[in-house]
Structure 1
Amino acid sequence: MTGRTGRGGARRAAVAAAIAAGTVLATPGAVAAADGGLPPKQPRTADLAVGSAECVTGEQRPYVRTVPQVTARLYGPGGGQPGEASRVRGEFEAWWQGEDGAEKRVTATTSTMHDTTPFSWQLPSTIPDETTVSWRVRAVNDDGASAWSSEGAGAPCEFVYDRTLPDAPVVTSPDYPDDNTWTPGAGVRGTFRFAARSEDIVAYAYSFIGEPPKMAEPGPDRSAEIRFVPKAWGVQTLSVQAQDRAGNRGPRTDYTFRVAREPAPVAHWKLADAAGSRSAAAENGSAARAGTGVTFGAPAPSGTPLTSTASLDGSGHGFLTPGAPVVTGTAKDFAVGGWVRPARVDGTRTVLSQDAGTARAFTLGLTPVGSGPAWSFSVGGARVTGGLPEAGDWAYVLGQYDAGSGTVRLYVNGREVGEETAAVPVAGEGDFQIGRARGAQGYRDRWQGEIGDVRAFDRIVVPGELTALATRTALRVGHWALDTAPDGLAPETGGGAPLKLGAGASVFRLDDDPCDIFDPDCVQDWPLEGDGHLGLDGVSGHAATDAPVVDTAGSYTVSARVRLTDDAPAGPMTAISQGGEHGDAFKVRFDPENSSWDLVLAHADEPGAPETVLSRIEQPDGGFGVGHRVTVVHDASANEVSFYLDGVKYAEGGTAAFDAPWESTGGLQLGRARTAEGWGEQLKGVVDSVYAYEGVLSETEIRQLP
């Protein structure tokens, strides 16, 4: 037994020595030891890779920009079957033709490992560039070597190491030249062309300031063309790099151009004409003839530059038209929009449209969706819907077709609603219509309500412009500095309704109770804002107006600065509220159980009505410091409510959907709230600098409140 083992070991040693010396060349039959041991299986080309590229021979060989690592899956005698793991080592070989015409070869042998382990070889740095390199691999164990991966049905793997960078591209644009001129404007799509001299360009990497990087694929002439819509006016830079098939990117070309402000709309009617007019004057485009069902001088949305609008009665005579198209070539970018207030939201009702024979090229308006109405914009056979139109409520609606993406979008009050939808425009250059849409039997789907500030664009309406068009400036309806309270009345700074102080409430002024600040026994309070603040005793102290200050069924913003003087209140303490007979349309309170400031909105003026609550964790301040500014914002157009603490609205829990507003009948309250037992949740602390607005303050405006 010992002798036989020794002779077998000698044979294996001889085979191993022959393999190491390169004299054992495996054939498809492989080399096996005389004692009947089996050599590994031949590697498959499908299991070989150059970096992340597959093993390929010929024109499809990969080009790489760094000296690669090649990898292989090797198989022992069991062929990698479950339970058949074997230990093998890999022999790699690479070769190429040198500059002198002679073949060059390099080899490497790995350590012995299980054949379930990937085998790899980092090729040496002596690999030449711009040269086709071939390589192959075989598996070896103590009983022999497999066939090379290139033998039989296999083939050598090839790659080219390419470290030559492509040239810097040349960038040109007929629309936005790099020549210090301001053209043509934000929202106007422009074409840019990239070209490079290198013959192996496969892509161009490019980016505009403020935009994510993108790739452009070149055509047969190795140039590429992109289209871009600037989203704002100003100096813009386009950065471009050419990329070759090895992944090398060449020097960057920075192309600087100047984007002018947004061009004026191609058609614009304010619809603020004098009562009795039979046409609407055009800011741009042609005057629009008005049917007898149109009445000028109707109310305008507050907080906008509009002074009046046109009211359409929903009859066959309630329309306006310039007798010409406003959008020519609907396969290009365009947008239409305006301020609207529907008197009715039943059925399909048209704000704006353009004729296309006996049909329409596009329609903006409202339409039934499911169990209720929705705003709608249609182009060709595509339609996007969204939002919640309500009779008597103003909204800014705008529909937009983006020729670059071939989609339509719908915006209500500056926010995109519905889902972006693919559309194929129809050829339609008939008359533009306000208040009606063309059908096979004539005009139909007539608007009933107000329309104002109608605009049509032959470009994209950019985000900042859309925000400006749809914004209603909040109107301040109350500001109480709480610095004085003659005869128990804290005046409103604009001469509006005062806050009437109840028992347990007083205005503190620094000069009312001075003491020597150098006296160690002097404990001096300081006003939160200005010369004084309102102090509340937590028992009966409060201040209130006689009537509501904000319409809680509409959009409003209410804010106050509050400081607690009770470190451990026994129950919730309300800083500010406004409600009705049984509950509060809104209240802001401190909840000691959760150590949080809460915004609470009852869904109805009924005992036990459901509530929406937004909370912010915050420790009581113990009567020191400047307290906290609490701000509640109700955006009726978006059916949302937001809560800010010290000008910050947290992404988590800072905003909630709210579709149950109601109009409160009671006055604005400081220091108390409605409870099941009557007035309660009395605040022990101080309140100062109270603001109330009709409309929605922006986040920037909220942060700027003192």
Structure 2
Amino acid sequence: MYFEFGAGSFAGKQVLDATFKAYETWSFNCTPYWVDLERTDNISEGTRWPGPAQLDQMGDRYVSAGRGDNCSPEQPNAWVEFNDNPAEGDENLTSTVRALADGKISRLTLMLRAKDESEPRAWKRFDSNAELKVWYVHQPGVPASVGVVPGTGTAAYCRSSSEPLTVTVKKPTVYATVQTKVEAHEGDEEGSLQAEYVMQRSSNDMTSGSWSQVWSDYKPDSGWVADGTPQAAQTDERAEGGLYRYRARTQSHWSYNGKSGDLFSPYSSWCYLRIDTTAPKAPVVVSNFPYTECLTNDCVAHGGPSQGGIFTFKPNPADVDIQAYRWRLLTSNAGATYVVNAAARNKPVVVSGLKPGLPGTVTLSVEASDLVKDKEGRVRWGPAENFTFKVGLPAEASGRWRFEDMVPGSGTMKAADTGTDGVRLDANLVGAAGTGGSTRARRGAGDYSLRLNDDTSDPASQVGHAATSAPAVNTVDSFTVSAWVYLTDASENRAVLAAPGANSSAFTLYYSAAYKKWIFNRTDKDVATPAYIRSVADAESPPLKVWTHLAGVFDTNEPGKGDDTIQLFVNGRPQGDPVKLAEKATSYEPWQSTRGMQFGRSLKGTAGQEYFFGLLDEVAVFQDARSPEQIREENQLLKDGVPSNELVAHWDPTISAAGGTKVAESPEDPDNAASTTFPYSRGPLALSGTGAALTGADATSLVLNGTSGYASINGPVIDESGSFTVSARVRLNKTLLASKAPGYRALVAAQTIPGGKESSWSLWVEKVAEGAYLWKFGRTAVDANGTVIDTALAPAQEPVGDHEWDTWVDVTGVFDGTKDFTHSDGTQQLGVAQLYVGQFLQVGEEDPGLAHAQQGSGALSVGRGASNGTLGHYLPGDLAKVRVWAGAMTFDQVSSQIAQPSA
């Protein structure tokens, strides 16, 4: 009998003990015989007799039950329990269940069998109601809110080595909020935790020096606190001018069955600080308009995310030589800092046009400087003054078309406007063959998009589009347009959205075949031959058949037209600087579109042109200039506060023909159970000529020899300047990997970069030392010559464990293009790479940020790839699933959509 378990509620906990019990209902006779509990490989829909391979013995029992009064004494039905016997070193139930809780294995499959299957008298029957009882405690998580108080206040900050925090007291206070690895649910025990702190000093008080520990402490001084409790500690006296760094970790204490112990989380990142008691003091911050400072129990919202505030920065009364101020918004794009110089020493400055970016409570952090330089030649900035204010809610979309009503085959020819501000304007669909609804939609299963002109058999019918009956946005005032696009043909200009007048369009969001780039433009006037003013994408030749988010912003920047700007955003990122329209065309006048907004084409007079080929989804217009933060939020496609994702590629060896030469696409279509093809129709992965086979003892998988075997297809399948998720189900071959030299990278899945010597993204296992292996996910960017200019790396916290060998493990890489990351050198990164092993996010100390956008092309491979200038890096092991999603998954989404469900 087989029993399969998921981690369930003990996922992420530290397992102390485990017992498996099964209910025996029949024995061949009254004589006890040995029954074994074995761990096997997992069961799948493709499992065949004689079943999955046996991996390890969990325990054995010498029993007989279920004979009732046929025996003397009586042998009724009975529970048979298996628990590790310390006297028998081959019983590994607790350690195996611990690996399940740690996410090192996706499922635990247990088999009951007679120790001697050839002895009929040893045969038994068990009921299907087996239980796995687990005793566990909370594992500690990396502390949150780690930082240092720069003076005598309470706000704590963490700064990189490129700009250490200036601390004006010799006994600074450090903070850290202890937490468990997995957040406790309401009513659950919240752990017994403690914060541990470590501080080091540079040998030469410069970042180039060596570091040695000078102070450590823990809080609370005695006893323990629960998950989410902030803890503060004051250091002993530090040296004037000294350069220090500080970090913290969480300790979790447990006691069970007369024993006790402690667990420790990884350390947080380092926070750098310099002691300088002569540095400027915190300045004075005054709001002039429209925002007001939040007071205790009194925080009134004013303005909106796109409304610029006016603030005055003044020197602290104790300072006499302030020459500059530096400010940043801590709750919005925290890495962006701005410096403004005073007109004269110790004079205030007025900063206008400070736009908060997002609604809600916002903190403006301002520092003052006397322009004195520290030991390393950097300008010193004093402690910050924090001014907290509340920003009102923005206007809702004045038009939004989700195309949820475009059900394929329904004959629907109208897309409802689901916006909430202004007048509703449905989009009326016009088209013939190749135009309608599609299940390929950006919000995932159950969603639909607008399909335009994908029937290439009759060019005359490729005029599909949609339009509103009246203008959808006032193009004289500030506005924003946004859409998700899936372009399938780039041979000509392809219009996404356009706002026509009598002769030309006030704006067009489109792909330009001449520039080979995405463009957002405005025209100077509504005339037959207007001047075109363009905001152009950074990257040339965007990939086809991928989901890309586009947004165009027109900002009037009151009061005059001379400051009007346009700017294109691709996947939530601004493309270049805002373009001043009057500087590009002196004839520019802001003018109002007078006809219905066009979806998938533009108009030249009354003639349609620039028809879009592909899919449109999630179109929205706003009657204001959305901030970069709001556009990034729009890019996430939040649904009930959770980002949306769409499965865009899925290859499954378990449903492929055994002995065949291709790994089949999954036929799964969530909206059409009868579908026999994957909606995106990527095609199968082709096996290499040698070293790869679709085979398996109990179920079909892609078996790779580690020297020549792989499978591939022409990619890419995602726009890699945006967010995406890639996952593979892998079974490593320990014997073959052991023969590789230290430093060997075995690539699970990878997308090559043009030139074929690097991968734009890859999942791999690396032999970091003899006998030690580490899962990793990374990204690489190259320059025009193919030279590596940037990498982002997310490694596993711990090496591959004993229980991860020769069984299936889900490994997932997530690239979140909406997240900022500040590198240790102070540079701002484009997005963040994350690695999940099983359902658990791995926390490491490598640089996960990518400062340069990189798009892969060419071969998308499983089992090999390009790295460190060479193609190869073959995987010794098996693959069962390879999947790619548009969108960055959250922890909960990885657990529910990728990691094996609990049984």
TM-score of the superposition, structure 2-length normalised? 0.39
Which one has the largest radius of gyration?
A: 1
TM-score of the superposition, structure 1-length normalised? 0.49
